[in-house]
Amino acid sequence: MTTGKVKKMSLGLSLLSLIFLVVFLVCTLKFWGGDPHIALIAGAVFASFMGLIGGYTWKEIEEGIIDTIKLAMQACLILMIIGAIIGTWILAGIVPTMIFYGLKIITPSIFLVAACLLCAIVSLATGSSWTTAGTIGIALIGVGTGLGIPLGMTAGAIVSGAYFGDKMSPLSDTTNLAPAMAGTDLFTHIRHMLWTTGPALLISLVIYAILGFGFAGKQIDTVQVNEILTGLDAVFNINPLLFIPPILVILIVVMRVPAIPGLIGGVVLGGLFAWIFQGAGMTEIIGAAHYGFELNTEVLSGVVSQTVIDSLNDLLTRGGLDSMLWTVSLIICAMCFGGVMEKTKQLETIAMSIMRFAKKTGSIVLTTVITCIATNLLTGDQYLSIVLPGRMYKDIYVDKGLDPRNLSRTLEDAGTVTSPFIPWNTCGATMTKFLGVGPWGPDGFAIYAFLNILCPIIAVFYGYTGIGIKKLEKSPKEESVSV
C-alpha cells in the first residue's frame, strides 16, 4: 500500500545496488560462463531489498517493474517482427541479392571503401553487426590479406561498416532498444542519428579512400569471392528487383509510417517476393517467419568448396521470430532491474549526483557518453550500456528541455559503437573471434574503425555547439503560462 510519504534513497544504498549488479554481471559473464539474464534478475532482487530498507513497499516496487516493462513492449514486438523480416527476406533472396551485387563492386583500388560500404549494406539488411562480421567480414579478411593490406586496417573497415547498420537499421535490436529506453519512437530515432552517423560514415570513407590509394594497381585473388557468388546464384534466383523491399522500408522511414505496421509490411513483402522469385510455398514462408531460414546445403554440393558451404550456411541460416526471444527476455530482465531502480529513486539519486557537474547541454551529453563507455567497460555488455544510462538520464534530459531523441542518439553514439573496442565485452570478443585480430595492439582494428571513433566525438561536439540538438517542444499550456 502506498503511504503517500515522499521517500528519498541515500546515495550509499543506491550505489550498493549498482555495485552488486556490476560485480554479479562480471562474475557471470567472465567466470561462470552464463548470460546476463540471471545477473539482472539478481540485481533487481538486491535493489528491491535496498528499496525496502529505504521505506518503499513491495507493491510500489512491483508497480515500478510492471510499468517499466510496459515501456519496452513496443520494442519487444518490433524485435519479434524483425526476426520474421530477416527470415522471409533471406528466403525471398533479398539479402542474398544485396550481398551478391555488393561483392561485385570490390576492386583493389577501392577495397577499403568497398569493404566498409558492403558491410554497411549487409548490416542494414540484417540489422546485425555480428552477422555481417562473421560472414562477409570473414571473406573480406581473406581478400584483404591477399592484397597485402594490413589485417587491422581491413578489420577496421569491416567494423565501421558493420556498426553503421547496427546503428541505422530498423532491424537492429540496439536501434529499437535505445528509443525505448529514452522515450521516443524508432523512426524519429533513426532520422536523428543521421546527424552524427552520416558525417561519421562520410569522413570514414574519405579516410579509407586515402588509405586505399597505396594499394591501387594490385591484383585481387577473387577465388573465394567468386565461389560465394556461385553459391548464392545456385541457391537463389538473384534479381535486381529484389532491392524493392529494402527501398520500400527506407521510404517507410522517410514517410514516418508507424514502426509496427510498417515492419509488418516488410514481412508481407518478404513473403510475396519469396513466392514470386523463389517459388516458395506458404509453409516455407511461415516457417521462415517463425523459425528463420535454413540453407539447403545439398544444393551446393559439388558446386563450391565445403569452406564456402560453411560460410554461406553461417551467413544465411538465421532469422525468425524465435531468434529474437533471447534479446526480448534480456530486455524484460533489464527492465526489472531498471524498474526497481527507477521506482525507488535510486537511479535518480545516482544520476543527480553525477549531473551535479553537468549544467549545460554539452556537459550533459559528455556525461552520457562517459557513462555509456563506462558501462561497456564494467558490465561487458552492449545492451546494458544502452539500458542503464537510458533509464538513469531519461528524466534529466526532459528536465533540461532536451527532446528524448537526443538521449537515444547519444546512447547509440557511445554505447553501441564503443562495445567492440573492449576485449572482454561480448561485442569485442565476438569481433576478435570473427576477424582474427583484437581491437588493440600493433595490428589492432580499433584505430582503423573510424566510424566507431567519430560517433561519440561528433555527439559531444554537437552537445557543446548546439548543432543537431533538438529542444523539447512546449505544450500550448506551457506556452501560454510562459507568455
164 domain residue, yes or no: yes
Q: Is 0.85 surpassed by the pTM of this model?
A: no
Contacts for 481 with CB less than 8 Å, ≥ 6 apart: none
Q: Are residues 43 and 158 in the same domain?
A: no
Q: Are residues 145 and 16 in the same domain?
A: no
pLDDT band, residue 217 (cuts 50/70/90): low
Percent of the chain, pLDDT > 90? 32
Q: Are residues 111 and 201 in the same domain?
A: yes
407 domain residue, yes or no: no
Domain boundary among 324, 354, 382: 324
User: Average of pLDDT values for 215-221?
Assistant: 65
pLDDT band, residue 151 (cuts 50/70/90): confident
What is the reported pLDDT for 481?
Answer: 38
65 domain residue, yes or no: no
Q: Are residues 200 and 303 in the same domain?
A: yes
Q: Are residues 195 and 252 in the same domain?
A: yes
Domain boundary among 324, 358, 373: 324
For residue range 26-53, what is the model confidence (pLDDT) as tens digits? Answer: 888 778 877 788 988 999 999 999 999 9
Domain boundary among 298, 324, 350: 324
Q: Are residues 207 and 251 in the same domain?
A: yes
157 domain residue, yes or no: yes
For residue range 407-429, what is the model confidence (pLDDT) as tens digits? Answer: 999 999 999 999 899 877 778 87
Q: Are residues 222 and 165 in the same domain?
A: yes
Q: Are residues 169 and 28 in the same domain?
A: no
Q: Are residues 130 and 47 in the same domain?
A: no
User: Average of pLDDT values for 232-247?
Assistant: 90
Q: Are residues 280 and 140 in the same domain?
A: yes
Q: Are residues 242 and 289 in the same domain?
A: yes
User: Average of pLDDT values for 202-217?
Assistant: 88
| Mean of all residue pLDDT scores within the chain | 84
Cα–Cα distances (Å) from 107 to 142, 143, 154, 221, in that order, read: 14, 10, 14, 10
Structural domain that includes position 20: 9-55
For residue range 73-82, what is the model confidence (pLDDT) as tens digits? Answer: 877 887 788 7
Dihedral pair phi/psi, residue 318, rounded to 5°:
-170, -175
Residue 108 has pLDDT above 60, yes or no: yes
Residue 445 has pLDDT above 90, yes or no: yes
414 domain residue, yes or no: no
433 domain residue, yes or no: no
Residue 389 has pLDDT above 90, yes or no: no
Q: Are residues 225 and 295 in the same domain?
A: yes
User: Average of pLDDT values for 367-377?
Assistant: 87
Alpha carbons 101 and 303: distance in angstroms, whole number = 20
Closest of 293, 331, 382, 259 to residue 83, by C-alpha: 293
Residue 1 has pLDDT above 50, yes or no: no
435 domain residue, yes or no: no
Alpha carbons 231 and 301: distance in angstroms, whole number = 10
Count of the separate structural domains present in the chain = 2
What is the reported pLDDT for 212?
Answer: 87
113 domain residue, yes or no: yes
